[in-house]
Amino acid sequence: MTADTPPRSRHDLRGAAGRLATALLDAGRTRLELAAVEFEEARSRATDNLVLVLVAATAFGFALLAASMLVVVLFWDSYRIAVLAAMALVYLLIGAFALWRVSERKRADPPAFAATLAELERDRAFIASRLGESGGRE
């Protein structure tokens, strides 16, 4: 019986190693699929946002240009320099506000691939706990 034990345990070890490799490959494939889905979602959102921002910026640009010309024409005879300075200040404040909002949004947005990173961290913790358990048994 002792002659049968080493080959059988080697066979069991090979089977376990094969199952472990298959499980690791399946987990890796699942994580890569999740990363690909998240990347596609992020790319789609970014493209949509860019198009909307460009349309809005163009429309608002023309509206502001027309409104500015109207205000300057109305005050041309009396306060043209003051009105031009006031319009420049208003545009400066609008630009500063827009940049501030962009920085706030960047701070509030979750990092890219947050779900994928969380899954990988859970996998790492699980594997570490399993290795710790098996190390204690042997």
* Spatial distance between the Cα atoms of 115 and 35, rounded to a whole number of angstroms: 8
Residue 1 confidence class, pLDDT cut points 50, 70, 90: very low
Count of domains observed in the chain: 1
Whole-model pTM over 0.75:
no
Residue 138 confidence class, pLDDT cut points 50, 70, 90: very low
- 100 in Cβ contact with 25 (< 8 Å): no
Cα–Cα distances in angstroms (integers) from residue 135 to residues 6, 8, 11, 103, 138, in the given order: 21, 22, 21, 48, 6
Which residues form the domain of 28?
5-137
- 42 in Cβ contact with 112 (< 8 Å): yes
* Top mean-pLDDT range of 8-12, 36-40, 111-115, 132-136: 36-40
pLDDT digits (tens, 9 = 90+) for 72-92: 899 889 988 998 899 889 889
Instruction: Provide CB contacts within 8 A for 115, sequence distance 6+.
Output: 34, 38
